[in-house]
């Protein structure tokens, strides 16, 4: 059942906001107008869906009354099942919209990808994953900026750290964090044997300065010459910046820019996002174990997803989803996986809120 009283209250508040935003004193106050605009934007989807729900209720009542009219009965009998199904679907949508919002949902993310087990093949797979996310970002109109990159001798990525900016990036990518496993024949394999390798992915909401305070006395800076694999792309200037956060022991290094100041700014951005992520995980650990051990050590037993090249198959083990189009997924077509993971999480949250839903139970 929908909380009708709460929905009616939101509808009244929406009308009140519309009126307030037309007042001259509000229009002249940029801060107040911005605050009211955001509040209206936040509740607009709920109010719009509820208005549609109310319209469906009225139409259903009219059709049920029309059953008593011989001239209208046949048409009403045809319409009622369709309207009832649409009403039920819309009710679920409204229940999802009413879930408490995650404050990080609309944030940009720091995406970290590292080669795990498997040597050079693992670093090549890490590069494949970065390219997959980069192409997915293109389809969403997002922007990716590489903050730090360490290449392997084969051209793969030992580590790649990037900032992904755009609309609702964290809400789309949040469930990509974990160990990804690949099963394929490496280019260097002469006997055609299938190898198993892993890469780890971490997805962290970008930290705002107001959220994370880093005391300068807790930081230790090191400056060195930037370098690349096999002598490639070596920057002979002392522009690489490494930051040690002494309280946590976290070390961040950035060397992509020729400017020491730019590398320092990028390294601080990554450090703050890591610290924010640690605090967020501590808070969530008190409520659930959802993200515990997201990356871990990169061991194959900790996998969340397997990419099986011989069978052109991708399997997400958390929700028991299997898709036989790896060739398209590795090229960035991951929308089906992203949507399935988000839907699964929404169902779990609705279950926690006491709302009955159909579908698979949360298998952790």
SS3 52: helix
Instruction: Identify the band that residue 139 occupies on the pLDDT scale cut at 50, 70 and 90.
Output: very high
Task: Give the model's pLDDT for residue 99.
Answer: 80
Instruction: Identify the band that residue 133 occupies on the pLDDT scale cut at 50, 70 and 90.
Output: very high
Report, as an integer, the average pLDDT of 111-129. Answer: 94
* pLDDT of 281 higher than 90: no
pLDDT digits (tens, 9 = 90+) for 173-232: 999 999 999 999 987 776 788 999 999 999 988 876 556 778 888 888 887 665 554 444
SS3 236: coil
Task: Give the model's pLDDT for residue 9.
Answer: 93
pTM value? 0.66
SS3 101: coil
* pLDDT of 279 higher than 80: no
Task: Give the model's pLDDT for residue 210.
Answer: 52
Task: Give the model's pLDDT for residue 107.
Answer: 87
Task: Give the model's pLDDT for residue 265.
Answer: 82
Encoded tokens for 147:
């903050």
Angle between helices 73-97 and 335-352 (to 10 degrees): 90
Task: Give the model's pLDDT for residue 204.
Answer: 87
Class of the CATH domain delimited by 109-287+294-349: alpha beta
Calpha distance 292→284 (Å, rounded): 9
Instruction: Identify the band that residue 148 occupies on the pLDDT scale cut at 50, 70 and 90.
Output: confident
Task: Give the model's pLDDT for residue 227.
Answer: 56
* pLDDT of 327 higher than 80: yes
Task: Give the model's pLDDT for residue 362.
Answer: 38
Alpha helices in the chain (DSSP H): 4-20, 24-27, 30-66, 73-97, 120-140, 169-173, 260-285, 326-329, 335-352
> Lowest mean pLDDT: which of 28-42, 132-146, 243-257?
243-257
* pLDDT of 237 higher than 60: no
* pLDDT of 340 higher than 60: yes
Instruction: Identify the band that residue 353 occupies on the pLDDT scale cut at 50, 70 and 90.
Output: low
Calpha distance 57→51 (Å, rounded): 10
User: Domain-by-domain residue ranges, the chain?
Assistant: 4-97, 109-287+294-349
Instruction: Identify the band that residue 18 occupies on the pLDDT scale cut at 50, 70 and 90.
Output: very high
Calpha distance 57→68 (Å, rounded): 18
pLDDT digits (tens, 9 = 90+) for 53-68: 999 999 999 999 999 9
């Amino acid at each position: 059942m929908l909380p009708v009283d709460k929905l009616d209250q939101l509808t009244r508040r929406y009308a009140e906001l519309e009126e307030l935003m037309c007042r001259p004193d509000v229009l002249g106050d940029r801060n107040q107008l911005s605050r009211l605009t955001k509040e209206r934007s936040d509740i607009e989807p709920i109010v719009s869906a509820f208005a549609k729900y109310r319209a469906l209720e009225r139409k259903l009542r009219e059709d049920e009354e029309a059953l008593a009219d011989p001239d209208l009965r046949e048409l009403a009998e045809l319409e009622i099942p369709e309207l009832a199904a649409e009403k039920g679907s819309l009710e679920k949508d409204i229940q999802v919209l009413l879930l408490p919002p995650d404050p990080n949902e609309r944030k940009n993310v720091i995406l970290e990808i590292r080669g795990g087990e498997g040597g050079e093949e693992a670093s090549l797979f890490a590069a494949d994953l970065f390219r997959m996310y980069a192409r997915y970002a293109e389809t969403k109109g997002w922007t990716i900026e590489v903050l730090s990159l360490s290449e392997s001798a084969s051209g793969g990525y030992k580590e790649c750290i990037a900032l992904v900016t755009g609309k609702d990036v964290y809400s789309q990518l949040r469930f990509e964090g974990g160990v990804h496993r690949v099963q394929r024949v490496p280019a260097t394999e002469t006997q055609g044997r299938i190898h198993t390798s892993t890469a780890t992915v971490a997805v962290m909401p970008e930290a705002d300065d107001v959220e994370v305070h880093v005391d300068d006395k807790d930081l230790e800076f090191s400056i060195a010459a930037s370098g690349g694999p096999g002598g490639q792309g070596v920057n002979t200037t002392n522009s690489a910046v490494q930051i040690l956060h002494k309280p946590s022991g976290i070390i961040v290094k950035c060397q992509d820019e020729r400017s020491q100041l730019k590398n320092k700014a990028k390294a601080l951005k990554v450090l703050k996002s890591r610290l924010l992520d640690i605090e967020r995980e501590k808070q969530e650990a008190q409520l659930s174990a959802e993200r515990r051990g997201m990356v871990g050590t990169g061991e194959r037993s900790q996998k969340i997803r397997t990419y099986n090249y011989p069978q052109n198959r991708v399997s997400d083990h958390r929700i028991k989803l299997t898709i036989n189009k790896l060739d398209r997924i590795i090229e960035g077509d991951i929308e089906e996986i992203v949507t399935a993971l988000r839907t699964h999480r929404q169902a779990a949250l609705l279950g926690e809120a006491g709302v009955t839903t159909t579908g698979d139970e949360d298998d952790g």
